[in-house]
């Protein structure tokens, strides 16, 4: 069988580990051939592909990013998008697609598979860890590790100057990175998109931390919102899936803290550093296992499914189930962290 592979959406560490596992098992065990599509859905849309064989995937396991490139191209918005994708697959005699992506990329895969008969198998990825139906997505553990290291480093400089350090991490709709790195790094305030925050309460925690003669570290997700305000946007632009571009809540909050408490505050925005570089051992392990199981699903022609982690098992679920709603932070989990605030 000839199988296409694509990586779409924001990149994340571990994408290459999936590609390698898919190709290694697919060629060695099943005798399949692979075609790599460039830049997410843009590849099959525009017929842009590269050969993908065992020599092409040698040495890529520890490499960040994706050797196939990525984009947020939405083929459902392109003129004759579905027809063009079908034509590319037919022309290249590709009988199945392995789609490695998050909510948006997999949302397209679910529609193509369920409504238009394009045989897709999904692999969940995102540093945000906000995909339903899987306990974890790969990329998340690496991002949390990077954010935690940054918080550790910020503690010492914050204490030398006795100032507030606000750390802004990624997380548009879900506060998983903020919550996990904030707990792991011993933050004094953690703010997540799921719970609107009260600036006065944040200032009270900051003040109480100074009273104990320590400098406060405030971790905020980029999508966190004050009770009486709105999302802080980078600019007014939308991506092809209609998402606003965030960033700025950290800077805004640092100014508010300075104004209201009289304490000096600085902001560090971690941004794309969280998505770059080599994957953690956990993410390599998870991505590799996802790849092995995705190629099994293709071999068994179990299309419209996505591989998912449940406990330590890899299972298959309908792609549509994973993209129907976002996995957000449960209020109880957030409350648990409150012991360390202030
Ligand atoms: O979806 C993953 C993510 O990293 C989000 O956390 C973040 O808001 C967004 O992508 C940034 O997207 P871009 O790559 O367009 O800057």
The enclosing H or E element of 50 equals strand 49-52
Give the closest residue (by CA) to ligand 1 atom 8: 172
CATH of the domain at 267: 3.40.50.460
Number of alpha carbons in the 13 Å side-chain half-sphere of residue 94: 27
Contact 6, 37 (CB under 8 A): yes
Number of structural domains the chain divides into: 2
pTM recorded for the entire structure: 0.96
Q: Are residues 17 and 130 in the same domain?
A: yes
Cα 219 to ligand 1 centre (Å): 18
According to DSSP, the residues that pair with 313 across neighbouring strands are: 310
Ligand 1 nearest atom to the CA of residue 239, by list position: 15
Q: Scanning the structure block, which residue is given the tokens 């949302």?
A: 107
Give the closest residue (by CA) to ligand 1 atom 13: 10
Helix and strand numbers (H, E) in the chain are: 12, 13
Domain boundary among 240, 256, 274: 274
Give ligand 1 pocket residues (Cβ under 6 A): 10, 102, 126-128, 170-172, 222, 239, 246, 275
Q: Are residues 248 and 309 in the same domain?
A: no
342 residues of the chain, pLDDT tens digit each: 999 999 999 999 999 999 999 999 999 999 999 999 999 999 999 999 999 999 999 999 999 999 999 999 999 999 999 999 999 999 999 999 999 999 999 999 999 999 999 999 999 999 999 999 999 999 999 999 999 999 999 999 999 999 999 999 999 999 999 999 999 999 999 999 999 999 999 999 999 999 998 999 999 999 999 998 777 777 767 788 888 887 799 999 999 999 999 999 999 999 999 999 999 999 999 999 999 999 999 999 999 999 999 999 999 999 999 999 999 999 999 999 999 999
The answer to the question of residue 338 being in a domain is no
Domain assignment of residue 206, given as a range: 143-274
Q: Among this protein's residues, is 135 annotated catalytic? A: no
Q: Measure the CA–CA gap between 192 and 29, rounded to whole angstroms.
A: 44
Q: Are residues 174 and 260 in the same domain?
A: yes
Active-site pick, 39, 128, 130, 296: 128
Q: Please calculate the CA angle 106-108-109 and round it to the nearest 5 degrees.
A: 60
CATH of the domain at 45: 3.40.50.450
57 phi/psi in degrees, rounded to 5:
-105, 5
Q: Measure the CA–CA gap between 18 and 158, rounded to whole angstroms.
A: 39
Ligand 1 nearest atom to the CA of residue 172, by list position: 8
The answer to the question of residue 339 being in a domain is no
């Amino acid at each position: 069988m000839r199988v296409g592979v694509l990586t779409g959406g924001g990149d994340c560490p571990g994408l290459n580990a999936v590609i390698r596992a898919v190709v290694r098992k697919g060629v060695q065990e099943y005798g399949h051939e692979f075609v790599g599509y460039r830049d997410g859905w843009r590849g099959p849309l525009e017929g842009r592909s590269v050969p993908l064989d065992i020599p092409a995937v040698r040495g890529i396991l520890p490499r960040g990013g994706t050797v196939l490139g990525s984009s947020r191209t939405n083929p459902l918005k392109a003129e004759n998008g579905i027809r063009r994708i079908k034509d590319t697959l037919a022309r290249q005699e590709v009988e199945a697609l392995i789609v490695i992506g998050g909510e948006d990329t997999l949302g397209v895969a679910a529609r193509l598979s369920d409504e238009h008969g394009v045989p897709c198998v999904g692999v969940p990825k995102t540093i945000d860890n906000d995909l339903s139906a899987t306990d974890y997505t790969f990329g998340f553990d690496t991002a949390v590790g990077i954010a935690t290291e940054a918080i550790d480093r910020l503690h010492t400089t914050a204490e030398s100057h006795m100032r507030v350090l606000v750390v802004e991490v990624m997380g548009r709709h879900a506060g998983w990175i903020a919550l996990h790195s904030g707990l792991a790094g011993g933050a004094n305030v953690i703010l997540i998109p799921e719970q609107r925050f009260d600036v006065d309460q944040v200032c009270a925690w900051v003040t109480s931390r100074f009273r104990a003669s320590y400098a406060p570290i405030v971790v905020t997700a980029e999508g966190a919102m004050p009770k009486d305000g709105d999302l802080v946007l980078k600019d007014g632009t939308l991506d092809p899936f209609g998402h606003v571009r965030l960033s700025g809540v950290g800077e805004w909050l640092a100014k508010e803290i300075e104004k209201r408490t009289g304490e000096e505050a600085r902001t560090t925005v971690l941004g794309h550093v969280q998505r770059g570089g080599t994957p953690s051992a956990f993410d390599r392990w998870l991505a590799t296992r996802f790849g092995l199981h995705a190629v099994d699903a293709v071999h068994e022609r179990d299309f419209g499914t996505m591989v998912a982690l449940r406990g330590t098992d890899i299972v298959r679920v309908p792609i549509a189930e994973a993209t129907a709603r976002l996995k957000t932070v449960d209020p109880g989990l957030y409350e648990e962290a409150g012991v360390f605030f202030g």
